[in-house]
A and B are shown apart, each in its own frame.
Chain A
């Protein structure tokens, strides 16, 4: 099976001189629920930025479902749905317009976009807010709106960069269920989060990155067993301190 993501010798040095990635190799299988963990400034967002076309890599190769982002970036982009860390939608636009406009950018006809938006907004509990300007939504609703927007073109790979930051426990659990169902239906998911219990609960495989290098990359269960720990948080802290 073609891996969902295949990253080889990936380097990124920003024009400021900051080295964000130092030769990262990473392979994520299709259908995986994958946790990409690391402290702030470790290189997670840079890696996600390169995958989704927002950041230019310095060196290395990146393939998404076998398509190189250098050889055919538009095709690689159609596979990816991105839910970024920061709210980046038009705060004056209506909820429904944010989702349908994003669909339009992927060439989805308006009628189909409206039907997909309706389905997603209903599933994420935002349908009754569809005609509200997005700035009037609560923090948790804004997060769910970003997920709806990221999914409107039915991507095979969903990248979630801290999707539950600032979301209350009840709403977070609801989002977990939604993501589990999505993954069970075949969508590969990459999750970055600082809530380690979230990664532990949801993800089958995990990579921990620090200072632009992958420290470990293995199944969640074997990682916990190998370190003789019952919680991912304890393994994580041990690895980060050693590094």
Chain B
């Protein structure tokens, strides 16, 4: 395929995904907005108003970046895992597999769909958060880079999950038992400086901690971890996930018989 044809194929997949996300907005966009709004009300307003500031910021201001990131992570992951598994289950994936699209284009299109939904949800949650507090942006480039890279990473994660999933249980196990605990323990609601050295060390094994801190740095200019270390971890994981998914597609694992 020529680069122009590859572009058309990529755009076709992404366009179809965008239409789907918008068509079923009550399933794709609304739930994370409702959930995070409840966090803003309960943790930000009711409980947060009685807590001491963290790093000089009101508690609700401290948790907003983490909650936005949680919505981005969950939406990106769920988009690719559900889209890919559903396509596999209904065999509509065959429409793509019989076409001459290169594996990397198929991967890129699925991931772009996840990023699109993740960032769309992120922006909507950000807008809702402004009803509860005011925000400043310390470093827009860091903020955007952290959001996009994290969204790409979890879209890839969802795709890998989708490749291995053999049933609908298979697409909910990782989000429920891995992703949610890691996200909640990834420093959304607290700074790890508040922990003992032992638990601080344990926390450093949680990759989501680095993403949330990078994003929070973009907003507030504070982070528990050096910002360069955060991006190094993000890029390292991205390289690993890209390698895994391209290998899986090339071998046809979970895709071809």
Q: Which residues of A contact B (CB under 8 A)?
A: 14, 46, 49, 52-56, 73-75, 77-78, 80, 82, 84, 86, 88-91, 97, 101-102, 104-110, 149
Q: Which of B13, B252, B256 contacts A105 (CB 8 A)?
A: B13
Contact B12 A105 (CB under 8 A): yes
A73 to B4, CA, bound (A): 18
Q: Interface residues of B: mostly helix, strand, loop or mixed?
A: helix
Give chain B residues whose Cβ lies under 8 Å from the Cβ of A82: 94, 98
Query: Is B108 in the interface zone, CB < 8 Å from A?
Result: no
In the complex, B97 has a CB within 8 A of chain A? yes
- Contact: B8 with A104, CB < 8 Å? yes
Residue of B nearest to A102 (CB): B95
From B2, B9, B11, B95, contact of A89 by CB (8 A):
B95
Apart from A54-B256, A56-B257, what 13 extra A-B contacts exist at CB < 8 Å? A46-B257, A52-B98, A54-B94, A54-B98, A74-B100, A84-B91, A84-B94, A88-B95, A89-B92, A101-B12, A104-B11, A105-B13, A107-B6
Nearest Cβ in chain A — how far from B133, in angstroms?
39
A80 touching B98 in the complex, CB below 8 Å, given contacts A14-B257, A104-B12, A107-B6: yes
29 inter-chain pairs at a CB distance below 8 angstroms, sorted by A residue, are A54-B257, A55-B256, A56-B252, A74-B1, A74-B100, A74-B101, A77-B99, A77-B100, A82-B98, A84-B91, A86-B91, A88-B91, A89-B95, A90-B90, A91-B90, A97-B16, A101-B16, A102-B95, A104-B13, A104-B15, A105-B12, A105-B13, A106-B9, A106-B99, A107-B8, A107-B100, A108-B8, A109-B8, A149-B95
In the complex, the answer to whether A105 meets B94 with C-beta atoms within 8 Å is: no
The 7 A-B residue pairs whose C-beta atoms are closest, nearest first, are A107-B5, A104-B12, A74-B100, A105-B99, A88-B91, A77-B100, A107-B8
Judge if B102 is at the interface, Cβ distance under 8 Å.
Answer: yes
Contact A54 B8 (CB under 8 A): no
Cβ contact within 8 Å between B98 and A107: no
How distant is B107 from chain A, measured CB to nearest CB, in Å? 14
Using CB atoms and an 8 Å cutoff, list the residues of chain B in contact with chain A.
1-2, 4-6, 8-9, 11-13, 15-16, 90-92, 94-102, 252, 256-257
Alpha-carbon separation in the docked complex, A89 to B98 (Å): 13
Cα of A88 to Cα of B96 in the assembled complex, Å: 11
Q: Decide if B2 touches A88 in the complex (CB within 8 Å).
A: no
Using Cβ atoms and an 8 Å threshold, which residues of chain B touch A14? Answer: 257
Q: Cα distance A46–B101 when bound, in Å?
A: 22
Please indicate the chain B residues that have their CB under 8 angstroms from the CB of A78 in the complex. 1, 100
Taken together as a complex, chains A and B put the C-alpha atoms of A11 and B35 apart, in Å, by 53
* Max chain A Cβ within 10 angstroms of own Cβ: one of B4, B97, B99: B99
